[in-house]
Structure 1
Amino acid sequence: MSFEIGVMTFGELTADPATGALPSPRQRVRETIEQAQVADQVGLDVFGVGEHHRSDFVGSAPAILLAAAAAKTGSIRLTSAVTVLSSEDPVRVWEQFATIDLLSAGRAEIIAGRGSYTESFPLFGYDLQDYADLFREKLDLLLKIRDGNPVTWQGHFRAPLVEADVAPRADGGTIPIWVGVGGSIASAVSTGRRGLPMALALLLGPMAFHEETVLRYREAAAQAGHAANTLPISINVHGYVGRTSQGARDTMYPYFATGMVENNHQRGVGFALPRSVFDAQSSPAAGLLVGSPQEVIDKLLAYHERYGLNRAILQLGFGGMPQKDHLQAIELLGTEVAPVVRREVAAREGVAA
């Protein structure tokens, strides 16, 4: 199985820590589509847009942004990162992503998650006490829609469907559906039992943070009769690629540190990030993928060896990094990092690159 490398964005609206300039929503939306175009041009495999329902993000409707990206790209896969399925209608999610799939000739994907940000629950009238039950039920319905049409289904949180015609259908008949897992072992086990691909998220911490998560996921998949070692696993992680190791860290740090404070305020205090902590998180054994092309290559290969990954998606510009720096990192990732990683992984697995 080939190793895929991509980029993602939340489209955050954060004031530049150096100039104080705050991008307009129009500017950030247009920059998001330009990021997708450049990622496609340099040969990356995946472009993702995350979902947030706050005024300091432009990603409240990722499907619309991905549809715009579909019209401006030719081969890159287009995914949510993630769809907060607990507060969405699975019928509408399918309709939107099947439309993206038609626009892009079969390039749409969904990463379904519970949501680490929870502002969408009160916004759409859901009770946070139903957090886990909502996700389980809605994922069941989304998978049933994917697997056939018409759809007959009954649950607790929405009206039943009786021979419902859910359209359009996907360009190739189906859409890959991954489950986003932030660190919950129970979520990993449930995903493994279903035989679904797992998209791990690692904000900060050691590279080994998800070892037990992956182990339990594969155990659950095997016990349920799935081919556990062939199920795809992705890592979604913050990072930046620069010409040099020091240059990459110096460029990323002020924006990342600002974003950790400004865009994580709903999660409470404790996200101030001193430079010494950032540098430690950039070391070979820690999670951040930041450095020179060779450093990022080495770290991606280490991730692959540790987890048996099939995909890595990097969030490169978090915290309002200027577009020129963001695009340069995308270009380096596509032209200097991805080809080497794909070749090395193929050699490890004894397959043609």
Structure 2
Amino acid sequence: MTATVAVVGAGAAGAAAAYALRDEPVDVTVFEKSGGLCGRAATRRRGDCTYEYGANYLTSDDERVTELVTEALPTDGLVDVTEPVWTFDAAGEISEGDRGDGHKWTYEDGITQLAKRLFAATDATVHRNTRVATLASADGGWTVEDAVEQSSTSPRSSSSREDADVTDHGHFDAALLTPPAPQSADLLGQARWDHVDCRRLRESIASVPYRAVVSAVLHYDFELDLPYYALVNADRDHDVGWVGREECKPGHVPDGEALLLVQMAPDWSAERFHDPEDEVVADAAEATAALLSDDRLADPDWTDYQGWRYALPDEGVSDDAIEMAADHDLFLAGDWVAGEARLHAAIRNGLETGERIAEAL
């Protein structure tokens, strides 16, 4: 008998969980509120430029994830950033030395290829532009209702309510939550689930602390002659947290151009999160120019912006919460479950959670 699983979120963890279930007698349906895949491992394009504005690359820190990317999934277009990551301190003093000699992988078409290739290896149904509005506990599983954005091409269910914005997707034997912890907690707060564990679980998930990050993308019509791919603030006491050079990624930026991804420090990002985007980007460019001692960088010829309210979890959710959820056919996955704000950790956790779902069903 085929079981059914609803996955909320098509980020790295959700894609990895679907991949782990690919050979099981399980029908997987994924609900993604945005139009893209891979969550905070996100890619945009402008003109001839391709750039990551969230997670910058995938490291080789996990043996299982490395095998997945380099052997199990297609490797066409997989590229490795070979230039090092250097550091700087609160005073802006730049020093050699990076996070190690491991790989820094992305794809010529962008890091979102990771989720696309994971899903392509499955029979999962993925509904984009589809926000899960309500989960309801049912005997032996969950029902799912969504709110579909106008741009969605997801088919309508015959069981839709008179309100055309709500679709009832019916019953699933299990549900998997992968959005950041605060959003997963909010979803549980709106769930139709009359059980004492609902409140306890929501409180546990909501307690996971997060840091916000503002990303500014700065483009220049000239090259930069620098000996490193990126700079990271080692003491976490500078307004800038990270500066990455997208032109170091093969296939991302045309010759003769430079494209910087600047991620501001969490305290700075939280303070400026609601300020006008153009002002935030201008100040990020000024800070970058000062850090790199290059006045030209204060005046990019085009820019982009992204505010990540829930960028970096500082801790993981408790094991008790994970077990409590599983007792109700509800599963959790993501970097906030793994307790490590790294892309490889989200993938590994998604794979392991998918296997756990298979065992439970």
Higher strand share: 2
Q: TM-score, normalised by structure 1?
A: 0.28
Higher helix share: 1
Which gives a bigger RCO, structure 1 or 2 (Cα 8 Å, sep 6+)?
2
